[in-house]
Structure 1
């Protein structure tokens, strides 16, 4: 295992971790965060290194599952939490996020090179990396745009491959949860061999993974009806909290088989086989209520706790020495990924018009309608008669790369160089299954008795008998004709292609010698082209409840040149500087730079500091998104805070300019010679991002318009056809509107000792490692709204105050035992909330009052063990890993009061362990 978060050469790191007092043999390496190759150089930028042994100890289904446990990585997209990202195309992806600063501001590399995105926003899916060849991961937790280009605002994650592998190695692993679900298996085979008398070397990796996933949420912690709702007793000035965080809450305006939500018949609901029943309301403030028949209307179990996955992948690389000084290399990869998951049910909150002559109305209700002279009522339904909506995504990614590398002498000094060309392409089939067509559904539910034949028909079929409409009964459970259901649903599909082309050349050399060490320089140039294209059948572009896909077409290119240098000033004092000039075809020129210093007053102690200017250019989605739409729900303050459904339209903005970030990093590394094997690092970071690209959510747009801010009102469209000025459509698009700031402190400590040195008679080695991040600030100011700080918010809004990971590894001969503790600090829902239960101050849009603002933290224990042996001439290792050993439930994180809270799982799927105790059993082999 590797120890402190410093960045000397890999061998120096290993020596520090092992506690060896002998100097390590140093070889030339390129350290992530710097282009300089220099023996013993230690970068001023903090670096966390993950070894292959650490990854294998937990036997993750995907290496991203391990990386997401590192405290500096938080807020990442995974197949568990991205399942409902249906319209964005993100469902099923593994996308990393450093500092909770946005995945688009984290640069992900494979052997120091970019990969094509797997979604329109350029997100790189870790599923496409050759898992069996990953020998380590380097995480640079600081700005690195001057060295590596756009997107490295919060840092770089570099996956390093073992392209020197010789022989064959592989693994077979299978697992499931303690509940017997989410069964999965994975097979991996990798190999390498020299050829042509040692001048050539080839490696390959093949992987097959299948994961059943979990359809629904079969966990008791999700069954208690935890939500946030507007307090029914609240009146401005009465001292009550405006919002309540409670359990036993359910919707008041929708039921599985439908409920009448207006007129004197309000509260009549339709049960099994259309039976007529009276709903028991609790304390109600639409769309929520406390108590009553809350259990009957619970529907937050219709998502997938984890999407099912199938992955197939191949990777190959060949190197060949053309001469003693020039080597050619080529690599190719192909990956296919398919995921299918529930994304919830369709909700119609009090917005289904049912005419009084509807043929499916039970006679007892029809009589009451006639007696009261009611010609129409509104129905609210969670549509148990319709199938659960699903996200079915398939992606195929290819990546081809050819290049040369070598060395020569210039002016008596060695120069190393490399040049390559790369083509990456991702083709996606993004399908939403079992989605209702709004027009077909409206026609089918409007069923009447034919005036001539007296049979039940669609009203529209009387004038147009051949229109294909089949009457659909929405009044009850088990009453819908399957043929009618099939006629109103469809499977909207979008095909997209994302293409990336890269050509680059890099040179590294020493310029001259100082009295302590040579001055080193790295320089290079890169051209990159990003393009998106797609197709959507016209029938799927509009008229659907969700999945109104629009094709996106767009392209930009960027040309960059950089130079980086390391100048040894004094013994123990190095200065590192870099500058990069970048020209974007969409937004022009921008310059990034970095200045860093390392200083070791004594061998045991090193200080480091960096200051950098970093950028992120707008991605293809932000620039060119074609205008897809979805149906969503919000609280309308213009209409007595009623819950309404509307169409949300998202479009790109070609006028966007690059974000610019100023980053500070200050830290210290302590490796005492009097305690061999021990290392400690502490690093403070501060990022200030100007012109941050973002968009305001629909609820905020409506709230701000209601307050009189006209710039928000322009995004709202209304429908007056019913005589009520209801919101029908809201346009959401990105712009450079915000300042974002992030501050925090990273801690890392490690210690390795031979137990025989500690106490005679003991065998084996013990390695301890601790990683922690204290998130001090995650601030945003868009210049209009009150600035917010989301650090310490354990909901989806921000990182917790603390994340930490503690590891103890014991190894004695063939036996390895590993114990891991993963911790999350307690948090809140919103730092702006004012917690009170009585005598509350005035509740405002910037400081809402709430009865409870607390979210529990968590501490999980993982355990693994491995036993090495020989089998059939191969080096083999059997292993068992158990995550969440105590089967601890996730903290309850309630959703609401607006949006689609009613359908969301009662926790933060990004932050907490949602599956429970998990087992993986497997075998590794090598020969």
Structure 2
């Protein structure tokens, strides 16, 4: 018989090998057989005979879910790396009631979209989405699965909001960090995240919690319930869950870190020959060209700029602005810099409400067939404060009635007009209100049977989902009405009116006073503001069949083969009132209408070649109704020379087809200007931002090489190291008017097709600003994953419990996005536009039967404001528009420390209870600070709320 230590060593050796093919019978983080855990639960509700029957049902009828592979073989050793979060990880480590916040802490994710960093997504409809982004390649290039199937998208771009999943029933989360298009289809360029549900759960579990920040804001609470039971002698099973979560919004920024005030400004002492940097970083600073009550930025007349610097305060008071020790046309260092909003009056986090319902019914109609039906419904609303209005160049003529009243006629004798900048504190802040409901209905079957004398697995399903969104922006300025209301004069009766009302008294215009705070009338505010909205519906039909079998064996062992096919149809439709399609400062919604379908077939095989050596390969044929036929493939292998080490490698060809938004985006219009390179003149342009139906799929070549080490002389320890390299060609990127004209001038015909004469004849050109297949993205790096499980009695015989240590880190060596319009720059370590050099996360859990404590350390390494800057203080090179010099380019990284405490107890044999407390950012560490005019912090990798507390109770019957 094995000793305990040997058993542990063998167990972790097996788990490490299966890190590329996660086994559903094994809890990979804690090495506890799931079947045993399920049997333990069953004993609380069933007799021993019933428990054995349930275990037998699970073993014989449940189809194995293997992430990263279609081969349903728990013993296969996939060459593709997979990271796993288990139920225990989720319970002990999740910082919020949102599972995406935990998943996004894994170092493989970089640049994910969250409710915090999407607060300014005014016109895209994606505000509030929790969308996962692997490798910083964009969330549209990361595929999200639920039990190995595509799940309902939440946006017209195809992004899956993790909030819509039944989080209470998630058994584990598997993250494939390599191209997987050959197995799963389009969008899996950067990898796959698979949420695996506990479909055979029996019992009842309830969770309730509440949280708050250390500043007394950000109050949140949630409750969730899930239950499952068998019927008809366990041939049938019912699974139900529901949850509700609420979070109070934080609609202003009162954190001290936002008072940093550093700004990047042009160096006033710079000359082409003195060797000083072109830019300098200085503070404290603030915006000087737009103040809450308005400031005169320039004036025209016989004495130019004679009124520059006059600003208006409470009740229209007239004051002179102090521009400080250093100033530019937009920024002041010192002086009256504090007068500006400086990002204080913008939302820090949204207010949100979300509701989820999920149900599943399954029945074993035969020993080889289980039929099931699933239904899910999600409803969510996210409300943001998108900040104050911003107008930097309001033109007031010298006869403007409010200007004359404020300054007097004498002060305006030599002035023809003034330009005023304001953030209009009298106006309500812009508000985003995004509402979504997502419905999903799935019908399918699965089972195991004998084929070629071996166990084979099959599955088939059909799924329909519909997502309806209502995207609304409140308090948006109408540019036409702003122009009319600004031109205020006195009528013959001496009353201030709009000039346009003198000739058209019934036009409804109400004059607006921009000069001061507390001076605007409610009528003028109501006149110039509106609430544009768009309604969209996105429908998806997916059906698929899969068969995994072992048709024959070679001298080295069984050969596994998986085959299958999939059909997918996606459609979008929408509605926008005509009044909201143009003429607004932001928004200008257009409805998107269009669709496409996809037909796919694949084959995958696992072939043992010799003892310890195996080949894995897959190929998929895909036919898009919009962009034609493509082939994706993957080849890889594993080599295990000794029990302690496994080598693995894959090479894959992956694709991402353009989504409906990229193909058929309804678009927005604006009037702009371009420099015409053919004649050197400036042309006016009607620019329409739309989709491009001629887009073709992106193509990626991905390489992953690594190893897994589980040394027998350190029982319970394993470490994996993997190098990855992804090169994406024909990447889809949005271009705008000037770039399109420039590229056409250089002879690129795909851009010339977007340029033509304005059909209305009112402008020189009409340009269709669309996405094109023109960019290249290359990224590479190293993933490190190490874990160690140590029963404490092995070092302290009288101490019980288990210590589990897990560390993960990703080192991004290269990230280059090359559009061909400017020099390609490696942005790894660039805080503003690339992934950090290092992203890391370490956790340690000490658990006893009735108590556990988990500590988490996570963060990113220091980096640069921008990798395009050249840092120097003297002897700087000559100015280069692409690589300007700057005296300070470094940004500190982040380090956050979290704690979780869980106490377990049983109450009068009623059920198992857990009381927990989670403290996030225990040291109240600051976020990554960046010198910019708005919020002074990075919102992607930082903790903006500061120290937060969340406590609650769980119980299970």
CA contact (8 A) 1:202 1:317 kept: yes
Give, in angstroms, the shift of residue 295 of structure 1: 1.2
Matched, 1:267 2:317: no
Give, in angstroms, the shift of residue 235 of structure 1: 3.7
Q: Secondary structure at the match of 1:360?
A: helix
1:605-627 Cα offsets, whole Å, 9 max, x none, are 10000011000001111111111
**C-alpha distance 253-711 of structure 1, shift in aligned 2 (>3 A):** farther
The equivalent residue for 1:438 is 479
Please identify, of 785-794 and 233-242, the stretch whose mean Cα deviation from structure 2 is larger: 233-242
**C-alpha distance 449-256 of structure 1, shift in aligned 2 (>3 A):** same
The equivalent residue for 1:675 is 714
CA contact (8 A) 2:22 2:82 kept: no
Matched, 1:49 2:84: yes
**C-alpha distance 588-8 of structure 1, shift in aligned 2 (>3 A):** closer
CA contact (8 A) 2:212 2:219 kept: yes
CA contact (8 A) 1:397 1:426 kept: yes
Aligned pairs for 1:536-555 (under 5 A) are 536-555=576-595
CA contact (8 A) 1:17 1:678 kept: no
1:626-672 Cα offsets, whole Å, 9 max, x none, are 1125899x99999xxxxxx9998532111110011111110000111
Aligned pairs for 1:322-721 (under 5 A) are 322-349=365-392, 351-363=393-405, 365-372=407-414, 374-451=415-492, 453-628=493-668, 650-696=689-735
1:286 to 329, 334, 338: 329
Q: Secondary structure at the match of 1:484?
A: helix
Please identify, of 357-366 and 750-759, the stretch whose mean Cα deviation from structure 2 is larger: 357-366
1:79-136 Cα offsets, whole Å, 9 max, x none, are 0001111111110010000011111110011111112321121111111100111111
Q: Secondary structure at the match of 1:787?
A: coil
Q: Secondary structure at the match of 1:57?
A: helix
1:122-162 Cα offsets, whole Å, 9 max, x none, are 11111110011111100000000000000100100001111
Q: Secondary structure at the match of 1:143?
A: coil
Q: Secondary structure at the match of 1:361?
A: helix
The equivalent residue for 1:31 is 66
CA contact (8 A) 1:183 1:212 kept: yes
Matched, 1:775 2:815: no
The equivalent residue for 1:906 is 936
In 2, Cα distance between equivalents of 1:15 and 1:488: 59
Aligned pairs for 1:230-269 (under 5 A) are 230-263=266-299, 264-269=306-311
Please identify, of 514-523 and 247-256, the stretch whose mean Cα deviation from structure 2 is larger: 247-256
Q: Secondary structure at the match of 1:402?
A: strand
Give, in angstroms, the shift of residue 8 of structure 1: 4.2
In 1, Cα distance between equivalents of 2:312 and 2:907: 65
In 2, Cα distance between equivalents of 1:370 and 1:845: 40
Aligned pairs for 1:834-853 (under 5 A) are 834-853=870-889
1:389-426 Cα offsets, whole Å, 9 max, x none, are 11100000000000122344445444321111100110
In 2, Cα distance between equivalents of 1:116 and 1:890: 33
Q: Secondary structure at the match of 1:202?
A: strand
In 1, Cα distance between equivalents of 2:496 and 2:920: 56
Gaps of 5+ in 1: 639-644, 720-724, 896-901
CA contact (8 A) 1:274 1:362 kept: no
Give, in angstroms, the shift of residue 242 of structure 1: 1.8
The equivalent residue for 1:641 is none
In 2, Cα distance between equivalents of 1:92 and 1:698: 30
In 2, Cα distance between equivalents of 1:829 and 1:701: 28
Q: Secondary structure at the match of 1:539?
A: helix
In 2, Cα distance between equivalents of 1:729 and 1:834: 38
Matched, 1:190 2:229: no
CA contact (8 A) 1:47 1:138 kept: yes
1:842-892 Cα offsets, whole Å, 9 max, x none, are 121221111111010011110010000113501100000001000001121
Gaps of 5+ in 2: 1-10, 38-54, 300-305, 678-683
Q: Secondary structure at the match of 1:610?
A: strand
1:25-69 Cα offsets, whole Å, 9 max, x none, are 996723111000113212100000101111111342210000000
Aligned pairs for 1:784-863 (under 5 A) are 784-795=821-832, 797-863=833-899
Please identify, of 51-60 and 750-759, the stretch whose mean Cα deviation from structure 2 is larger: 51-60
Aligned pairs for 1:861-872 (under 5 A) are 861-871=897-907
The equivalent residue for 2:156 is 120
In 2, Cα distance between equivalents of 1:219 and 1:686: 40
Give, in angstroms, the shift of residue 695 of structure 1: 2.3
In 2, Cα distance between equivalents of 1:271 and 1:208: 45
Please identify, of 333-342 and 407-416, the stretch whose mean Cα deviation from structure 2 is larger: 407-416
Q: Secondary structure at the match of 1:534?
A: strand
In 2, Cα distance between equivalents of 1:13 and 1:791: 36
> Over the residues paired in the alignment, what is the CA RMSD in angstroms?
3.0
The equivalent residue for 2:121 is 85
1:302 to 345, 348, 366: 345
In 1, Cα distance between equivalents of 2:153 and 2:737: 27
Aligned pairs for 1:312-331 (under 5 A) are 312-331=355-374
In 2, Cα distance between equivalents of 1:289 and 1:799: 31
CA contact (8 A) 2:404 2:412 kept: no
Give, in angstroms, the shift of residue 713 of structure 1: 11
Please identify, of 410-419 and 441-450, the stretch whose mean Cα deviation from structure 2 is larger: 410-419
TM-score, length-scaled by structure 2:
0.90
Give, in angstroms, the shift of residue 355 of structure 1: 1.7
The equivalent residue for 2:112 is 76
1:261-298 Cα offsets, whole Å, 9 max, x none, are 22221111111101111111232322223222211123
Give, in angstroms, the shift of residue 9 of structure 1: 4.5
In 1, Cα distance between equivalents of 2:173 and 2:64: 14
